[in-house]
Structure 1
Amino acid sequence: MSAGKILLVDDDDALRRAVAQGLELRGLEVAAFDNAPAALKTLNRDFDGAVVTDVRMPGMDGLALFERVRAIDPDIPVLLITGHGDVAMAVAALQDGAYDFVSKPFPMERLTAALARALEKRGLVLDNRRLEAAAQAGGGSPLLGDTPVMQRLRATIAQLAEAEVDVLIQGETGAGKGLVAHALHRGGSRRSRPMVTVNCAALPEAVFETELFGAAGAAGRPSTGRIERADRGVLFLDEIEGLSSSMQAKLLRVVEEREIWPVGAAEPRHLDLRIIAASKIDLAQAVRDGAFRADLYYRLNVVTLVVPPLRERREDVPGLFGFFLAEAAARLRRPAPRLTATIRDHLLGHDWPGNVRELAHYAERVALGLPSALVADDGATPAVAESLADRTGRYEAMVIRETLAACGGDARTAMALLQTPRKTFYDKLRRHGIEIDRYRPGKG
């Protein structure tokens, strides 16, 4: 059952204690009140549970409480406890937006089953609101998250952005190392100058020198390397662990002296650079393993920022998903889909080995409405949500059965209680397969 609090309101002390105990034994948190005004003081739009209230109470009764709850937030589920004479009244409340009702006496399983559905619905409502808020508060950067580790990361970026120090960023594939590099650049004094990105892992050794350092050229036509294009700006060395030992040695002079020696040039060129490097592996361990030069590592490692993987900050996943979903929907020019139970379960249950990048791709599939975004991890297609017509029919059949049970199968009394004409009443019996004789004494 979904997490959430149950607000129980009933002036009958014995019934209130029994129901509260039954719900608590089933793992629910219950706040019990003997009057409606006291219960209302605890409610607001952020309430993450459901309200269960008796209909007949002195002062403010259950229907008046339902109206007050609906004014606070119409999406808070309200379940009514009715007597046999209140069935028609409860049906009218259902039409006005009450979630469900149970008639006294009722089995605890009937109430807990209704509450399980109500809490699931409430959880989805609140999750969708949080997603919308996260999308609006994104500010153009998915470095979102309220977890302490993300708060510290943002604070450290703000401190380092204006500092003229080199930064080493470490994190798993797709964790957002490039986003951190861009945030450092945007927040620093070199923001008006370019940030030149070099994907070290994709750079063939045969063209390493000419691509990075440039060449003196012939007939006065020199070529400018990528490093020189970053002069007075920022050089971002992404996936630096992908450099071979010889490439690392050639890059060391750039990091140490801030100068390059173009191929064929007679003298070096001095540059004004801020260097940001990123690695998806632990470079300190790579140094110990002999896979990365210690002198280059220690010169790059003035300050190290570690970007945490999503599995270590699962609480941030829904907010990030909301940001990416809104972004994808806007780009595709279609409304953002609502969060479903299947999508929410995937968001919270998946480990996201591809981190932020994988989450962004998943949000795009959801925005496109692709079936692959709506398939559970075990490959099973989720059940289709119950339609409004099916749900209304289920309620209608339940109300008729409870009314027949209350009046001992007397059709005339049942029609009077339900305020239903004879032909309509018998049509509904046939539609729902209800045999009236089963409710008459001695026929059960």
Structure 2
Amino acid sequence: MAIPPSPPATGGTATADGWPQGAILIVDDEPGMRNFLVKVLAPRCRFVACAGSAEEGAEWMRTERFDLVILDIALPGQSGVQWLQTLRHQGFEGDVILITAFASLDTAIDALRAGASDFILKPFRVPQILNAIRQCHERARLRRENFVLRRAALPSRSLGTPLIGDSAATAQIRAAIERLAPMPSTVLLQGESGTGKELVARALHALSPRAQGPFVPVPCGALPAEDIARELFGHAHGGRAARDGLFVYAQGGTLFLDEVADLPLPVQASLLRVIEERLIRPVGSQQAVPVDVRIVAATRRRLADEVAAGRFRDDLYYRLRVVDLTLPPLRERAEDIPALVAHFIGVLAPALGVPPIAVGPEAMTLLQQYRWPGNVRELRNWVERSLILGEVNVSALYPSLGAEAAAPGAGAGAAGATPEETVPLDLESLQRRHILAVLDTVGGDKGRAAQLLGVSRRTLERRMAEWAAQGLVRT
């Protein structure tokens, strides 16, 4: 027997009197006890199901997700303690309250060993069972918080830095965050890898009314396609251990869907329903679960192009981009680089236990000319590497550019460059082009150029003489 769910409270997490919403399974062979518990719990819970035996309870567990089981010990067939042991062996992690009219010390010990959350003697009063259920809900809430904290402690691709810089582009992003954070609207963040999409998502959460709730990042591109639905929406008991999805763990907070363009089309359809109905349906369950979650999605690819190519649902695209915020690449806000470098040195030097390094004006100019294909993440890594080596090695950046991404001032317009060097085809040409660009930056000062390049002046002069003999440079 199942009791239809009562109308969910605002947000879907608690009733008006603060009672936590949830799904409860009652397993007792006495109809009177089942009816009593249903009368008490149905007005307070999202969903209540009843069974007269462990076998009937197992049928419910195969198709529904339950937050709590109230289980009588003395049942026909398999006893309550035996079934509880089976549930734990199968991976059920929810709370189980055992009830009995025939208590003994041995029974209580067996119940605790089997994994019971509480042990109540019949007959009991309404406040007693309600308090026990509240304590179970609180333990479940703490488990969810611990799960979120453990995920937050894992290595993250987040840049781990506030929005640094005074460029016009950074000021616009900062103003947009302050304007959008208090709103409940879904936000779509677009931009190249390393531009700080997760950083902005965390800022939106921290400045929102949901700041006390969890921030749950979901790396959509890193999850196996066959497991994404279970990770997001959870799954009912059956075939594998029942588990809450990340939507449940994000209750009252923000769910950050990173690289949302990587979601398979069937999961996109399910996500669309969640956004529209604010209900999730765990895999293998017929029961919908209300959720109170703000969604922030991010992608490095243009979703409009993905829609045009048929890889992303257009209806989901329009649902996600209630507000669309595009983060500029670092090359479009090069004036922020000095402040970012100073910030990373200040943060990383103490963490690494090394002295800070000084980045001179010539080196900073080269950093600002570099196109930074990896954006702020690449800049951070460069600072960390420089701190570890104890020197500013700007020259290490330029050979990795290639012809298409050459730094400004390093092409044919560099001092001494010949026309055929406009598109270098080999490493030797790239190296020559870079050295000439450095010389041009320092006004032809070979001593300063050698210092920036990390070579001796004698080596630099020898290379210049070789290129002059080949007619590749003018002396």
Per the normalisation by structure 2, the TM-score is 0.49
How has the CA–CA distance of structure 1 residues 146 and 216 changed in structure 2, closer, same or farther, with 3 Å as cutoff? same
Q: Which residue of 1 aligns with 2:222?
A: 202
Structure 1 unaligned segments of length 5 or more: list them: 1-139, 386-444
Deviation for aligned residue 1:219: 11
1:64-99 per-residue CA deviation (whole Å, 9 max, x = no partner) reads xxxxxxxxxxxxxxxxxxxxxxxxxxxxxxxxxxxx
| Letter paired with 2:255 | L
Q: Is the 8 A contact 2:195 2:329 kept in 1?
A: yes
| Letter paired with 2:270 | K
Q: Distance in 2 between matches of 1:224 and 1:311?
A: 42
User: Matched residue of 1:168: which SS?
Assistant: strand
1:161-200 alignment to 2 at 5 Å?
161-200=181-220
Q: Distance in 1 between matches of 2:232 and 2:279?
A: 12
Q: Distance in 1 between matches of 2:178 and 2:357?
A: 34
Q: 2:393 aligns with which of 367, 370, 373?
A: 373
User: Matched residue of 2:255: which SS?
Assistant: strand
User: Matched residue of 2:298: which SS?
Assistant: strand
Q: 2:354 aligns with which of 334, 355, 359?
A: 334
Q: Distance in 1 between matches of 2:310 and 2:286?
A: 34
| Structure 1 position 233 matched with structure 2 position 235 | no
| Structure 1 position 274 matched with structure 2 position 341 | no
Q: Which residue of 1 aligns with 2:450?
A: 383
Q: 1:303 aligns with which of 301, 323, 326?
A: 323
User: Matched residue of 2:268: which SS?
Assistant: helix
| Structure 1 position 156 matched with structure 2 position 140 | no
| Letter paired with 2:451 | V
Q: Distance in 2 between matches of 1:227 and 1:252?
A: 13
- Further displaced range: 154-163 or 219-228: 219-228
CA RMSD of aligned residues (A): 2.3
| Letter paired with 2:181 | A
Q: Distance in 1 between matches of 2:390 and 2:356?
A: 13
Greater relative CO (CA pairs within 8 A, separation 6+): 1
| Structure 1 position 294 matched with structure 2 position 314 | yes
How has the CA–CA distance of structure 1 residues 370 and 290 changed in structure 2, closer, same or farther, with 3 Å as cutoff? farther
User: Matched residue of 1:222: which SS?
Assistant: coil
Q: Distance in 1 between matches of 2:308 and 2:394?
A: 44
Q: Distance in 1 between matches of 2:174 and 2:392?
A: 34
Count of residues paired in the alignment: 246
How has the CA–CA distance of structure 1 residues 310 and 269 changed in structure 2, closer, same or farther, with 3 Å as cutoff? same
**Percent identity, aligned pairs only?**
43
Q: Distance in 2 between matches of 1:332 and 1:301?
A: 40
Per the normalisation by structure 1, the TM-score is 0.52
Q: Is the 8 A contact 1:205 1:247 kept in 2?
A: no
Q: Which residue of 2 aligns with 1:124?
A: none
Structure 1 segments (4+ residues) deviating >4 Å: 218-221, 378-382
Q: Distance in 2 between matches of 1:219 and 1:352?
A: 48
Q: Is the 8 A contact 1:169 1:306 kept in 2?
A: yes
How has the CA–CA distance of structure 1 residues 350 and 163 changed in structure 2, closer, same or farther, with 3 Å as cutoff? same
Q: Which residue of 2 aligns with 1:325?
A: 345
Q: Distance in 2 between matches of 1:153 and 1:290?
A: 30
Q: Distance in 1 between matches of 2:344 and 2:318?
A: 36
Q: Which residue of 1 aligns with 2:243?
A: 223
1:382-401 alignment to 2 at 5 Å?
383-384=450-451
Q: Which residue of 2 aligns with 1:362?
A: 382
Q: Distance in 2 between matches of 1:372 and 1:220?
A: 54
Deviation for aligned residue 1:295: 0.5
Structure 2 unaligned segments of length 5 or more: list them: 1-159, 400-430, 439-448, 453-475
Q: Is the 8 A contact 1:142 1:323 kept in 2?
A: no
